[in-house]
Structure 1
Amino acid sequence: MHRMIFLSLSFSVVLGTFIVFTSSHWFFVWVGLELNTLSIISLLCGNFSPRSVESSVKYFLVQSVGAALILNVVIIQAWFCCSWDVNHSLDFVTSLLITLGLGLKLGLFPCHFWFPDVVQGVSLVSGMVLSTWQKLAPFIVLVSVVDSLSVELLVCMGVLSVLVGGWGGLNQTQVRKILAFSSVAHMGWIFATVAYSVGAASIMLLVYIIINSGVFLLASEFGVKSLSEVSRLVYISYGGSVGLALGVLSLGGLPPLLGFSVKFVSLWTLVGEGSFFPSGVLVAGSLLSLFFYLRIAFSGALMLYPQHSLAVFGWRSIGFYAGGGFTLRGFVLGLSISLSLFGLFSLPIFISAINN
């Protein structure tokens, strides 16, 4: 893809999200969502391989259905309430439709089926964009209408997403699919928390974007696509192996890393509202997710992963990963790993920010 076309499409993706963020009119919100979706689809199939085109078509169909549900809400609001205001209260039907539409766009249960297949079919950098940046626009819409949505439905979808995300990643050996199911589980945490506290959910999404971006970029930097390749990462770069282990353990919420702090904030919010049973199920689902996070960490730490002995020396054909100077990728990696190490120190800051 030509550089100018790539920059134009990337600018359109950012512009679409910015339009959604700044608009209080349903029509402009829908325009921003569509601009964001159509631009990212062109980027996903930029290398024009059969697998990426297939993933792009799946992503287009799913996002079209989600956008159609949101558009139906817009039409119903304009017809019956004569209002195009995003903050206008919704009735039972429109709240149910927009919850399903946002769940489809965010990849939540029961609309999560498409997300692992799409992430598996694109590159690691594209998978990072789908798992991080593409969650922002639907989350902004969710925050705008959360007062009109059913709290029980939000918590139920969030809890089931955490269970499905943890269970689905147990038998996976591909890093992209593991991170995709991890995204389903994390969005479940955020979806369950936003019903009670928008501030806590926003902090969780921001921290997840930072940590997850670091893990995806680190896997892309060393071409890590499966657990067997993770086991050879220590021979390529010891620092990269340690950084990947810290990143995935932080995603799993292992104390004292940063991922533990945001999950503690979520549990603190849910327990404060009296949601004891959903909190217990969320912890159980988080333990399922922690199992495959530990698989990645142990695979990077073991000297000999169960495989053919000659496969260990495949690293000799890989180029030398040494660079100098400031790069955006290096900055994101350094920020992600650094923040992961100071999880407990940030906990009082998160709690004070929510209380204020």
Structure 2
Amino acid sequence: MNVYIPYNFMFLLLTMLGTIFSISSSHWMGVWAGLEINLLGFIPLLVYGGSTLEIESGVKYFIIQSMGSGILLMGSLLISMAALSWTNLGPLLSTEISSMSFIQKDMSFYGALVMVSLLIKIGLTPFHFWLPSVMSGLSWFSVLILASWQKIAPLILILMVVSKYSLFLLMCCAGSSMVGGVGGLNQTQLRGLMAYSSINHLGWMTAGSISSTASMVIYFIIYFLISMFLFYYLWMKEKSQARQMSTSSFQSMNEKLIFSTLILSLGGLPPLLGFVGKWLIMTELFIIEPMILMFLILGSLISLFYYLLLFFSYFFSNNSKISELSTKNLMPLSTSSYFIVMSVSMNFSGPIMILWLPSLIL
């Protein structure tokens, strides 16, 4: 996918504006409209390549997101009819409305509809079924947007109703971490594996939103930075199958260092940067819900197994032969040097962040 074509930039800008419009709106109708603008901008980016897999993934994504938007619109309409207000935060959390028993049950059900619609849109367990199949057919640029930017609006909207459904959300987070860990064990395609990795990280992000908004934001920023470097690297190397990690096209020790640090940091191996977000959430959830934290840690340990498999198959691959195809995929020397310095220094800044972040949050 050529991101430098002007109308690609226009669709990317429309996607970002839809998210900003959605999270800045004070009414459910504005939230719904922003999510629809985001969807209309993102669909052309998905199907731009014209391949069968991309079109299939785009259609699947459109159907799932439309279903989530329909449920969100229905739930918000019911909330507005019961509370006589379109405000997206007040009617669900108002003590005056909650004290009225004949409205309380209805508002809980309507709020649950809104919550389910957001979970469908973001792909949190048990509504994760669409994410691996959609992500498996996309380009690496589309995978990066789907795994990062498309999470922002649903995550922030979940914060608006999290206090009434925290127990349900914590159970979904635990299930998401386990599904992301176990589901990735049987994956041979890198995009599918990254999809289950995204599901696993999504469980941690949502759990962080329940315990502390700052922890969720820090975790998301760290996940976005690591994913941006990793997906850009895989995009340049044009790798889609896990077995390609052990081929002779990866002959440089610098390339091994880049991929190894990125994949281990994404897995949350201490003391790399990816561990910092998990550490912050662990220190807070240990007091609130230690049982849920146990499932989150177990899912991350299972996911770390397939990260280590990728690391070993890549780092200890046979590099004696270099094909002509591999030399075409090499980065320029200057670009490679900058990329190595930035990615490695970013990932090894974990210990500094662990010492500095608690004082910043407190």
Match of 1:43 in 2: 45
In structure 2, what residue type is equivalent to 1:59?
Y
1:133 aligned to 2:149? yes
Which residue of 339, 344, 347 maps to 2:354?
347
1:296 aligned to 2:310? yes
Query: Deviations along 1:78-117, whole A, 9 cap, x unmatched?
Result: 1111111122142311221122111111111111111011
Match of 2:325 in 1: 317
The list of structure 1 runs, each at least 4 consecutive aligned residues, that deviate by more than 4 angstroms after superposition, is: 329-336
Judge conservation of contact 1:174–1:226 (CA < 8 Å) in 2: yes
RMSD: 2.2
Match of 2:101 in 1: none
Which residue of 203, 220, 240 maps to 2:255?
240
After the TM superposition, which residues 329-344 of structure 1 pair with which residues of structure 2 at under 5 Å, given as runs?
Answer: 335-344=342-351
After the TM superposition, which residues 122-161 of structure 1 pair with which residues of structure 2 at under 5 Å, given as runs?
Answer: 122-147=138-163, 149-161=164-176
Query: Deviations along 1:249-291, whole A, 9 cap, x unmatched?
Result: 1111111101111101111110122x11111111111110000
Gaps of 5+ in 2: 93-106
Distance, in Å, in 2 between the alignment partners of 1:213 and 1:233 is 24
Identity %: 32
In structure 1, what residue type is equivalent to 2:331?
A
After the TM superposition, which residues 105-184 of structure 1 pair with which residues of structure 2 at under 5 Å, given as runs?
Answer: 105-147=121-163, 149-184=164-199
Residues 1:300 and 1:238: Cα distance change in structure 2 (over 3 Å): same
In structure 1, what residue type is equivalent to 2:293?
S
Query: Deviations along 1:59-90, whole A, 9 cap, x unmatched?
Result: 00111111112112210121111111122142
1:129, CA displacement in angstroms? 0.9
Secondary structure of 1:169's counterpart equals: helix
1:15 aligned to 2:8? no
Judge conservation of contact 2:85–2:91 (CA < 8 Å) in 1: no
In structure 2, what residue type is equivalent to 1:351?
P
Distance, in Å, in 2 between the alignment partners of 1:262 and 1:40 is 28
Residues 1:256 and 1:96: Cα distance change in structure 2 (over 3 Å): same
Residues 1:157 and 1:42: Cα distance change in structure 2 (over 3 Å): same
Which residue of 276, 290, 313 maps to 1:276?
290
* Structure-2-length-normalised TM-score: 0.89
Distance, in Å, in 1 between the alignment partners of 2:287 and 2:49 is 49
Match of 2:62 in 1: 60
Residues 1:75 and 1:267: Cα distance change in structure 2 (over 3 Å): same
* Structure-1-length-normalised TM-score: 0.91
Distance, in Å, in 1 between the alignment partners of 2:19 and 2:343 is 23
In structure 1, what residue type is equivalent to 2:44?
S
Number of matched residues? 345
Residues 1:332 and 1:109: Cα distance change in structure 2 (over 3 Å): farther
Which residue of 213, 234, 240 maps to 1:225?
240
